[in-house]
Amino acid sequence: MKEFNYVIVGGGCAGLSLAYELEINNKLKDKTLAIIETRGEYKRDKTWSFWKVFDHSFNDCVIKSWDNFTINTSENSHELRNKDFPYQSIDSGKFYKKINYKLSANQNVSFFKNLDEVNSENSIIFNSVMKEKPNKSKLWQHFQGIEIETPKNIFDDEIVNLMDFNCDQRNDVHFFYTLPFSKNRALIETTWLSSLEDQSLMDYDIQLENYIRNNLGIESYKVNFTEKGAIPLYCPPFKNDNKTINIGSAGGMTRLSTGYTFLNIQEHSKYIVKNIDKIKKLKTFNLGKRYQFLDKVFLKVLEKHPEKMPKIFFNMFKSSSKTVIKFLSNKSNIFEDIKIIGKMPKLVFLKSLFN
């Protein structure tokens, strides 16, 4: 069996991002890389959105960027604008194609279906595959989105609707998310923050159909693309050992209060590549201990008081757009954190903190 310097287990977002970053920084000229990936083919399966708080390597995979976003409850609507940190959506199909095309030109890079097919005894292993069995009773962000196309122009394609809580909550936390890619094409997602035990919340098709007809007033449309997912909001990052470094969601790159992961993966990939020669000696990369702490308290409140969450999210977005974006992208300073904390209902959070 062939030996490799580096082995990446899981060629999804994190695995391919890391491979691409190694390649474009000339780290695979005289080193070999095996990517272990079980999927049969790469095609668009996700739309990755985030606030662009720093530059990344995938501007050519961006479907659209927006400067404006709104959040609404059944009573109120609030719009925020920020030109410095646009909200962007990436087409995963274009992302996979771009990276695979680049890697295919390097003979030092090989793909395999199974780790047993390579000799990884002396390799540095980067793992992006969740090893734990999913715990359905814990908190998840689960959702389904459809990209629809309408015969008439109906969307305002300048504004993302980040969270629309004007929908049935069924004793959990539920909102819709609309990304208008053009005036007649948008991704609309129904999103729940709950355990995965209640199957009745998963009638996503009906939820989307009702929302599109009743809330958006759209009678006629066709569906171009569907995506579905469940992101665990409880996962502790796996411990790295002296052989394996965890990356992606398996490496704690998901911000637990929001599910945002894509840009964290890019930052982690850059960190690994910059330090590749001494990577095993460096401390584990994380999103910041204070975000881990704040998210934990936030999610405790969410689990205990789902009915309060539309107002809590709404009030959080009453801060300046810069403060909210930096906080949600783990780039805020302590003063900005205090501003966000100041918007939260103090007693409820203090009770959860000491509970």
Ligand X SMILES: Cc1cc2nc3c(=O)[nH]c(=O)nc-3n(C[C@H](O)[C@H](O)[C@H](O)COP(=O)(O)OP(=O)(O)OC[C@H]3O[C@@H](n4cnc5c(N)ncnc54)[C@H](O)[C@@H]3O)c2cc1C
Residues in contact with ligand X by CB under 6 A are 9-15, 36-39, 46-50, 128-129, 227, 229, 231, 248-250, 259-262
User: Which C-beta is closer to ligand X: that of 27 or that of 268?
Assistant: 268
**DSSP letter at 119?**
B
The residue assigned the tokens 């390597």 is 57
Residue 138 Cβ vs ligand X, minimum distance, rounded to whole Å: 17
Residue 29 Cβ vs ligand X, minimum distance, rounded to whole Å: 25
User: Which C-beta is closer to ligand X: that of 238 or that of 314?
Assistant: 238
**DSSP letter at 48?**
E
Residue 48 Cβ vs ligand X, minimum distance, rounded to whole Å: 4
| Runs of H (alpha helix) within 109-230 | 204-210
Dihedral sign for Cα 181, 322, 247, 229, please: negative
* Pairwise CA distance, residues 313 & 77, whole Å: 12
Beta strands 109-112; 33-36: pairing state: parallel
CA nearest to 240, candidates 198, 303, 286: 286
Residue 112 Cβ vs ligand X, minimum distance, rounded to whole Å: 9
**DSSP letter at 258?**
T
User: Which C-beta is closer to ligand X: that of 181 or that of 260?
Assistant: 260
User: Which C-beta is closer to ligand X: that of 159 or that of 231?
Assistant: 231
- Length of the chain counted residue by residue: 355
By beta carbon distance, the residue nearest ligand X is 12
Residue 288 Cβ vs ligand X, minimum distance, rounded to whole Å: 16
User: Which C-beta is closer to ligand X: that of 47 or that of 352?
Assistant: 47
Alpha carbon distance, N-terminus to C-terminus of the chain: 53
Residue 144 Cβ vs ligand X, minimum distance, rounded to whole Å: 9
User: Which C-beta is closer to ligand X: that of 246 or that of 352?
Assistant: 246
* Pairwise CA distance, residues 322 & 202, whole Å: 34
